[in-house]
Amino acid sequence: MAANPMTQFEVYRIGPEIKIGDFDISFTNSSLFMVISSLAILIIFNLGSKKNSMLPNKLQLMAELSYTFVSKMISDTAGSKARPYFAFIFSLFMFVLFCNMFGMIPYSFTVTSHIIVTFVLAGFIFIGVTIIGFIKHGFGYLKLFVPSGVPVVLLPLIVVIEIISYLSRPISLSVRLFANMMAGHTMMKVFGGFVISLGIVGGWLPLSFSVALTGLEILVAFLQAYVFAILTCIYLNDALNLHH
């Protein structure tokens, strides 16, 4: 029997049903993996920052390398003004990365393969960046939609396009992550199903595909977390340093 490749994305309740008013906020497998990812991040970085030795041990080195990696990413894309948002981007990058990576473990659940999760993250970033932009530049932030050096005739069209592209940011950001994760995991499941149904004779080809795909998916898991974080930095850069 070949399992449905989409069943891995199903959310189910763990434990009792919790309700606040009409809202169901029960603890689910998705919540479980959010908690696991957060805890893993906290434990690793707590252990990695506990004692400061001149020669760092492996955990400390990892924590410090991640710190400098994200720090460099932010200063490269958004400049020194983005320093106060470092903690947020660092948490975001780590959360997405760990959720993606935990999703790579067989029989686990990928939190970021759900559009609602990525959309909430992206929506929060979008709203936050817009608020920061208006606080920093007031109504001058609207100049973002009016690029300089554009012929006046084309201006109405350009402004409309700019506004649409700005508003579609949360959608593109969330769908990119969600679609990548979902597609990758579906593919792996499909090839895994092939291995079972083709058996010992023909199963080797999809098995080798599956192995290759696992490597690819780990790469994608990292890459998508990186893209998510770096796009956040770019949006933040638009809000902090108005270029247009």
Partner 1 sequence: MIKKIFFQLIFFNFFFIKKVFAAESGGMPQLNPEFWISQVFWLTLTFGLLYVVLSKLILPKISKNLELRKSQIQENIEAAEKQRESSESKLKEYDDIVLKSKLEAKNIFKNIREKVLKDINSKKEILDKQIDQEVKKVEEEIEVLKKSAPEKINKIAIETSSELVKKLIGAEINNSSISAIVDDLSKRNGDKYYGN
Question: Which residues are near partner 1 by CB under 8 A?
Answer: 2, 4-7, 9-11, 13, 23-28, 30-31, 34-35, 37-38, 41-42, 45-46, 48-49, 52, 54, 60, 63-64, 67-68, 86-88, 90-91, 94-95, 111, 113-117, 120-121, 178, 182, 190, 193-194, 197-198, 201-202, 205
Whether the CB-CB separation of 112 and 181 falls below 8 Å is answered with yes
Whether the CB-CB separation of 178 and 113 falls below 8 Å is answered with yes
Nearest approach in angstroms of CB 156 to partner 1 is 36
Rounded Cα distance between 206 and 211, Å, is 9
Nearest approach in angstroms of CB 195 to partner 1 is 11
Structure letter (DSSP) for residue 17: -
Which one, 100 or 144, has the nearer CB to partner 1? Answer: 100
Nearest approach in angstroms of CB 88 to partner 1 is 6
Which one, 89 or 144, has the nearer CB to partner 1? Answer: 89
Which one, 111 or 231, has the nearer CB to partner 1? Answer: 111
Q: What is the dihedral of CA 224, 225, 228, 229, to 10 degrees?
A: -150
Rounded Cα distance between 148 and 146, Å, is 6
Closest of 136, 126, 96, 131 to residue 114, by C-alpha: 96
Which one, 30 or 224, has the nearer CB to partner 1? Answer: 30
Which one, 32 or 158, has the nearer CB to partner 1? Answer: 32
Rounded Cα distance between 206 and 203, Å, is 6
Nearest approach in angstroms of CB 182 to partner 1 is 7
Rounded Cα distance between 76 and 148, Å, is 24
Phi, psi of 152 (to 5 degrees): -60, -30
Rounded Cα distance between 201 and 207, Å, is 11
Nearest approach in angstroms of CB 8 to partner 1 is 9
Nearest approach in angstroms of CB 40 to partner 1 is 10
Which one, 119 or 141, has the nearer CB to partner 1? Answer: 119
